[in-house]
A and B are shown apart, each in its own frame.
Chain A
């Protein structure tokens, strides 16, 4: 009987090999044609590029720009609603390729490796900038952005959009997590000032935990977003992931201290919502808006939702603050921006779009529409002078912008998505006590070293 199995298996394998043999010639053809098209494309591209450069005022009438964006994101909705303004001014038509956020990276990887230029502009989530730039998939933009503009953007914003000192994306959005807290509960608990240090934060969380409301949430779902908050904890403890000389520094006493502090709040103080270990930012804003938690660290996007009584039960009972400091006052800065695909055939038209979308005026409008921090000083001025915003809005936007002073780029390494993925195991494993802090960090350091070698 065993012989029979073997025989049939051999038959199957031979058949597959035969089939494979037949197929191979056609694959070669396909790959062959890819190369051809690619070379043609680049040739055509440099030609058109040079003619456009020499022309005084380029005429883009009839040019179609394809922009790959996150579906459903409020900042993209803003650009979509206003793009007709750009289209009528330039004669360029814009087509949006909308991709769910969870799948954007996967799709952009495919687009990039196809080098077909099917997408001209990528809506870049910051961790991807170094990654794509290091592989030559993004067009350097440093020469295109004027010095005046460079000075106007926050340093943290441009820094976070750069790789090896070169700019690869112009940010339309820069943010760092801040703390949202319940003013009414603070008053009840007799806390007059928002905690400035970890210790004060811990004390406050303990005091605020009562009557079914928890002090805070520490996200630990095994996913990318909670890792961004972990980076903040590391930074505040004086730790890091990769140092300036590109050494992996995950397994450090500082990072261990950060984890021990988080574990203490979670398991000893019990001031952290117990489900936290399975949460990401969406759970965080839901819990906060339902009034189940007194302080949460989250992204500025939550502000517009939390103050909307249609969605929030705490719309008039909260305020925002800069994250408390540990050994250091520090967080990671994150941007969303537009970058040009290096295989785009419409780079100059794409730059026209970016200039329009990231102009001081447009970014101010975006900030006002979504109550978001803005990445340009001049935009912030417009926002603070805007009469449609309340004092509360303005103060809050100011806090979000001030928070950026302490923010740094965490994603300079082109393998950041891999690092983020590894750290998601570490975070979730340690916080669910499947591994000890020491084991978890040692494993992470080993895995990251292997992955980025």
Chain B
């Protein structure tokens, strides 16, 4: 018993150390966001802001930040929802109804993630411009779908593949169709995996920069990453405002992960794909 306790404390200690390392850059960003301009560049750096100032936050919130975050949220929400709606059935189809004919299709699907996006910027820019969707949220949503979709299909195909055949056979005997099995049997038992895949898709579009930059022009569609990059100018980098935006930027993602975390833990402890 006591050995177990010692082990647990050791594990706790190790995890605590890793946590500090993980959180440190963010804490430092938070500290920077509270410093005045002259203090920010102190040599050697001051550990704590004195006096602490909220001026960077004030400046950010009264600027374009509300518009940027609205755009980020809308683009992320819709692109994720559509990608999940399309990706879950496809992953299930590839995993359980795959034939020799679907194999190359799957290979082609995964190829999407293997093209360096830098080379896709110009084609996307020209096409989105030609269908008059440049500087619109829809244009960004459309662009993000392939990237999220392949990620979802890829991750979930693997997870669905682990589900024992007996589960489906039993459901089939009950008279359920393929779609029925997916919706009524498979999905409820794969919540955590779907969650992880969904989270990855969410993070892709939340954090995406290159396409957001070239497909938007004004604050009617520009997202937060573009807004943040704007703090680096040819004259100076506005570290204070940038750090403040960086901290605010994390909040929605953090809340979402927090909510989702409970679900993830539940899914994990219930033995997500135990069958």
Contacts and interface: CB of A to CB of B under 8 A. Distances in A.
A and B touch in the complex (CB under 8 A): yes
Interface of A: 8, 11-12, 14-16, 19, 30, 33-34, 37, 66, 70-74, 95-103, 106-107, 110, 113-114, 116, 118, 125, 225, 281-282, 285-286, 289-290, 292, 299, 301, 305, 309-313
Given A72-B238, A99-B230, 6 more contacts: A37-B130, A70-B233, A100-B226, A101-B233, A114-B125, A290-B41
Nearest to A36: B130
Contacts of A34: 126, 130
A103 B233 CA distance: 10
A372 B126 CA distance: 38
Contacts of A99: 213, 230
A16 B111 contact: yes
A97 B122 contact: no
A225 B233 CA distance: 12
Interface string B110-142: 010000000001100111011000100000000
A19 B217 contact: no
A97 B41 contact: no
Contacts of B129: 114, 116, 118
Nearest to A224: B234
Given A15-B107, A30-B130, A97 B218 contact: yes
Contact of B37 (A14, A113, A301, A311): A311
What is the predominant secondary structure among interface residues of chain A facing chain B?
Answer: helix
B36 A290 contact: no
A46 to B, nearest CB: 22
Interface in B91-124: 103-105, 107-108, 111, 121-122
B233 A71 contact: yes
Contacts of A100: 213, 226, 229-230, 232-233
CB-CB nearest 5 A-B residue pairs: A15-B104, A71-B230, A12-B107, A100-B229, A97-B217
A338 B66 CA distance: 30
A20 B21 CA distance: 47
B261 interface: no
Contacts of B218: 95-98
A312 B105 CA distance: 60
Nearest to B241: A72
A14 B226 CA distance: 39
Contacts of A286: 41
Contacts of A8: 103, 107
- Which of A33, A110, A281 has most B Cβ within 10 Å? A110
Which of A66, A71, A95 is packed against the most chain B CB atoms within 10 Å? A71
9 contacts: A15-B105, A16-B107, A30-B127, A72-B231, A72-B233, A97-B217, A114-B125, A292-B43, A313-B38
Contacts of B122: 110, 113
Contacts of A15: 104-105, 107-108
A282 B231 CA distance: 12
Nearest to B226: A100
B42 interface: yes
Contact of B38 (A114, A125, A311): A311
Contacts of A225: 234
Interface residues of B, number: 35
Nearest to A9: B107
Contacts of A125: 234
A101 B217 contact: no
Contacts of B43: 290, 292
B139 to A, nearest CB: 13
A310 B38 contact: yes
B2 interface: no
Contacts of A289: 38, 41
B236 interface: yes
B213 A103 contact: yes
A313 B41 CA distance: 10
Nearest to B107: A12
Contacts of A11: 103-104, 107
A281 B234 CA distance: 8
Contact of B217 (A37, A118, A292, A310): A118
Contacts of B36: 310
A100 B218 CA distance: 12
A12 B125 contact: no
A97 B236 CA distance: 20
B37 A33 contact: no
Contacts of B254: none
B96 to A, nearest CB: 20
B230 A72 contact: yes
A301 B233 CA distance: 12
Contact of A114 (B37, B107, B126, B233): B126
A100 B42 CA distance: 26
B237 interface: yes
A73 B235 contact: yes
Nearest to B220: A95
A11 B231 CA distance: 48
Contacts of A290: 41-43
A96 B64 CA distance: 13
Contact of A106 (B42, B130, B214, B233): B214
Contacts of A311: 37-38
A313 B43 CA distance: 11
Contact of A312 (B38, B107, B125, B214): B38
A154 to B, nearest CB: 21
Contacts of B108: 12, 15-16, 19
A110 B41 contact: no
B163 to A, nearest CB: 24
Given A30-B130, A70-B234, A114-B126, A107 B214 contact: yes
Interface string B30-53: 000000111001110000000000
Contacts of A107: 213-214
A274 to B, nearest CB: 14
A14 B236 contact: no
Contacts of B134: 118
